[in-house]
Amino acid sequence: MQSSAKKQFKKGETLIREGERGECAYVIEAGNVEILVQRDGQAIQIGVRGPGSLIGEMAMIDDKPRTATVRAVEDCDVIEITREDFGRRVESADPVLKMVLRVLTTRYRDMLGRTETIRFVPSTTAEAVENSEAFHDIALSTIKIHNELKVALQRGELTLFYQPIIDVQNMKIAGFEALMRWKHPQKGMISPGIFIPVAEESGLILELSRFALDVACDATKELQKAASPALVVPEPLFVGVNFSVKDFMGGNLFTHMRDTLAKKGVAAQQIHLEITETLLMEAPEAAKAELEKCREIGLNVSIDDFGSGYSSLSYLHYFPIDTLKIDQSFIRSMTTHPNSLVLVKSIIGLARNLGMKVIAEGIETVKEAGILYTLGCDYIQGYWFSKPLPFDDAMKFVKNWQPPKLEIDNNSVNTNT
């Protein structure tokens, strides 16, 4: 098993080569290295690093090709940290440290992803990101996304897709989740993972949420009207709308929701307010007050990505909650990791005891669906039967859906091994 090791590089030797897959990072102990990127067939030096610097750190997060070459400009001593060693250290770290690391690496990756995916600025290099120029580029790209997003909202480039949610116990359509998309005229379809965090940071999320609620209400009515009675559950269809913690801070989310429902003529029971547990914990008092008012008029409160946060279960009593949406990561590992199966089983049991419903997200296989059926889960959502659909396709879905067959294997839920 490999672990951190000291290494030496002679002047002119290459530590990291652009385009190759990265397996390790280096901490420079002595000597200097230069960072080079290829531009128009020429190697351009974009920085120099000396003792104490960390280079090639993206290899700790993923195995994408290196985006720069690093060469020793003099004899160097370095400590090599392999991804395997890093992973092992993280696994054995204190849980709080582990969580902080996970959050930081995810944010770092998102930040780079945003810059690279959108390409509002010339591509920056992962290795160069620690230099202030690259950070400046990222900040600039965030501002550009914000400005373009504002215009996009006015120009009607934002739209909602609808992913069906199925009552797994009878395989009938129970509702949909509304997921935002940005149809960018030049860059094509941009995922909410890119622009929602920017909207949250800049405050534009308030307008986006209002837009989503408006459009989702219209869609709810249309989908309900078009639904073939034999394919849907007897209760009215519901549509889940995602909200962010900022929506709860202003103190007028409730009034806006109540007025919108009245204006659109949609029953409150048909709208599920989706909010993640991590967001709830950021502003618990404000969220509780608004959620209680929303719930009083019949809106359904769903906890999104349940289990992925790092909060205490006691909040399940603190907040008014109707539905738990089990995080996709548990579903993904349920068939390979017995502990995940135990967790899914426990969440379903917990919800039942607390009088809540459960939606399992990210169902991709018939096996996962069969397990959730056997565990008594209420609803499932996932690529196994449908990706998020444009509105017209969602309309076809409620008219023509043909439920795939479940495969039930009672042994697959046996966790007493």
167 binds Ca ion (CB under 5 A): no
Q: Which two tokens stand for residue 323?
A: 């539905």
Cα 16 from Cα 26, distance rounded (Å): 9
Given candidates 290, 305, 322, 368, which one binds Ca ion under the rule CB under 5 A? 305
- The SS3 call for residue 64 is coil
364 binds ligand C2E (CB under 6 A): yes
Given candidates 82, 242, 300, 374, which one binds ligand C2E under the rule CB under 6 A? 242
Cα 217 from Cα 397, distance rounded (Å): 18
Q: How far is CA 241 from the centre of its chain?
A: 15
Residue showing the smallest CB distance to ligand C2E in the complex: 382
Residues in contact with ligand C2E, shown as a per-residue x/- string from 203 to 222 under the rule CB under 6 A: ---------x----------
Residues in contact with ligand C2E, shown as a per-residue x/- string from 384 to 403 under the rule CB under 6 A: ----x---------------
Instruction: Identify how many contiguous H helices and E strands the chain contains and give both numbers.
Output: 14, 17
Residues in contact with ligand C2E, shown as a per-residue x/- string from 297 to 336 under the rule CB under 6 A: -------xx-------------------------------
Q: Which two tokens stand for residue 372?
A: 């959730």
State the residue for tokens 């160069």.
128
247 binds Ca ion (CB under 5 A): no
As a whole number of Å, the CA-based R_g of the chain is 25
- Least separation in angstroms between residue 357's CB and ligand C2E is 16
Residues within window 264-283 making contact with ligand C2E, judged by CB under 6 A: 274
Cα 373 from Cα 43, distance rounded (Å): 57
Judged by CB under 5 A, how many residues of this single chain contact Ca ion?
Answer: 5
Helix axes 253-264, 205-226, angle to 10 degrees: 30
Residues in contact with ligand C2E, shown as a per-residue x/- string from 87 to 126 under the rule CB under 6 A: ----------------------------------------
166 binds ligand C2E (CB under 6 A): no
323 binds Ca ion (CB under 5 A): no
Cα 279 from Cα 188, distance rounded (Å): 29
Q: How many alpha carbons fall within 13 Å on the CB side of residue 220?
A: 27
Q: How far is CA 148 from the centre of its chain?
A: 22
Please choose, out of 269-277, 310-318, 369-377, 379-387, the segment that lies near Ca ion by the rule CB under 5 A: 269-277
Our CB check for ligand C2E shows the closer of 362 and 370 to be 362
DSSP state of 41: T
296's torsion region: left (phi>0), alpha (psi -120 to 50) or beta?
A: alpha
383 binds ligand C2E (CB under 6 A): yes
Judged by CB under 6 A, how many residues of this single chain contact ligand C2E?
Answer: 22
Cα 184 from Cα 292, distance rounded (Å): 37
382 binds ligand C2E (CB under 6 A): yes
Q: Any idea of the CA torsion for 132, 135, 136, 137, to the nearest 10 degrees?
A: 130
Cα 191 from Cα 198, distance rounded (Å): 12
- Least separation in angstroms between residue 167's CB and Ca ion is 18
Q: Of Ca ion, ligand C2E, none, which one does residue 390 interact with (CB within 5 to 8 Å by kind)?
A: none
Residues within window 167-206 making contact with ligand C2E, judged by CB under 6 A: 179-180, 191-193, 196
Residues within window 327-366 making contact with Ca ion, judged by CB under 5 A: 361
Residues near ligand C2E (CB under 6 A) are: 163, 179-180, 191-193, 196, 212, 242-244, 274, 304-305, 361-364, 381-383, 388
